[in-house]
Structure 1
Amino acid sequence: MKTTTIWKGGKSYESIHPNKSTIHIDAAGGFNPKALLLSGLASCSGVDIVDILEKMRVPFADLKIEVEADQTEEYPRVFKDINIVYSIATDEENRDKVIKAIDLSLEKYCGVAAMLKKNSKINYTLTIQAV
């Protein structure tokens, strides 16, 4: 895996993936590096969860993942606790399967979670919305 990041002035950067996709990073506002880490955690886990639920043949829609982290006061200001809220539209009877998919993602498959767990506690809650 490789990316190339180019300083654009001030606290602004552009990161380029080898497939030519780009993302704008701005430490002064917008998506800063730590916000990208949280987005990476959400999308990594989301990819796993969707894949697992599809393999389980669980019908669902509208998966939304909100991630928030507390940081230490001292530098480098690292994440202490990371809290994830998974919201998904499915039947309540699928709750245990959704929990299993989340647990498999966070404990086994999501590499971003594995890296962040070395320094931070990851907690989650699940909200099921009726279909």
Structure 2
Amino acid sequence: MEVRVSWHENMRFIGVGPSNHAVVIDTTAVGGDGTAAKPVELCLIALAACTGMDVISILRKMRTPPRKFEVLVKAEQAPEHPKVLTRVELLYRAEGVPYENLYRAAQLSQERYCPLSNSLKAEISFAVEAIP
């Protein structure tokens, strides 16, 4: 997979991936305008959506689709740079679903299906190249 992020002004960036949908990223820190989600915030939103999609899919297969569903993510960051995430807590809320089904669907998402959850738990190799 390849994505491209381009700088637009101040600290505003626009990213585009294979789906060709643009995502705006900004911050209020270091000269940003706060016009969009911050990068780590966007990462947590993506995590919630990723695992949420898994859970909805699994619950549908269990024939217990929810009337309402949401994922709440609470995260803690280290106080010093690089301010890595040190704890992530996921809370799944679903109306009209037996607890056992919801818990099992969430567990399957975390252990087997959600690429973001599993990437955040894994060691990842990075390569850096600079082109002037």
Instruction: Identify whether the pair has TM-score above 0.5, normalized to the shorter chain.
Output: yes
Match of 1:59?
Answer: 65
- Paired residue for 2:82, among 64, 71, 76? 76
TM-score by length of 1: 0.83
Greater relative CO (CA pairs within 8 A, separation 6+):
1
Partner of 2:99: 95
Which letter does structure 2 place at the counterpart of 1:17?
G
In structure 2, distance between residues paired with 1:18 and 1:118? 23
TM-score for both structures, normalised by structure 2: 0.82
Select which of 95, 107, 118 maps to 1:114. 118
Q: Give the number of the structure whose alpha-carbon radius of gyration is greater.
A: 2
Partner of 2:108: 104
Q: Percent identical across equivalent pairs?
A: 30
Report the number of matched residues. Answer: 117
Distance 2:92 2:122 in 1: 22
- SS of the equivalent of 1:67 reads strand
Greater strand proportion: 1
Q: Distance in 2 between matches of 1:19 and 1:108?
A: 24
Matches of 2:105 and 2:47 in 1, distance apart? 15
- CA 1:60–1:19 in 2, change beyond 3 Å: closer, same or farther? closer
Inter-partner Cα distance in structure 1 for 2:79 and 2:19: 38
Q: Distance in 2 between matches of 1:42 and 1:83?
A: 10
Report deviation, 1:80.
0.6
Q: Equivalent residue of 1:108, what SS?
A: helix
Q: Answer whether contact 2:51 2:109 (CA < 8 A) is retained.
A: yes
Instruction: Give structure 1 regions of 4+ aligned residues with deviation exceeding 6 angstroms.
Output: none
Q: What secondary structure, in the 3-state scheme, does the structure 2 residue paired with 1:82 have?
A: strand
Distance 1:13 1:106, change over 3 A: same
Residue matched to 1:2: 2
Q: Please, which runs of 5 or more residues in structure 2 have no aligned partner? A: 29-33, 124-132
RMSD of aligned residue pairs (Cα, Å): 1.4
Unaligned 5+ residue runs, structure 1? 120-131
Amino acid at match of 1:18: P
Q: Return 110-119 or 64-73, whichever deviates more.
A: 110-119
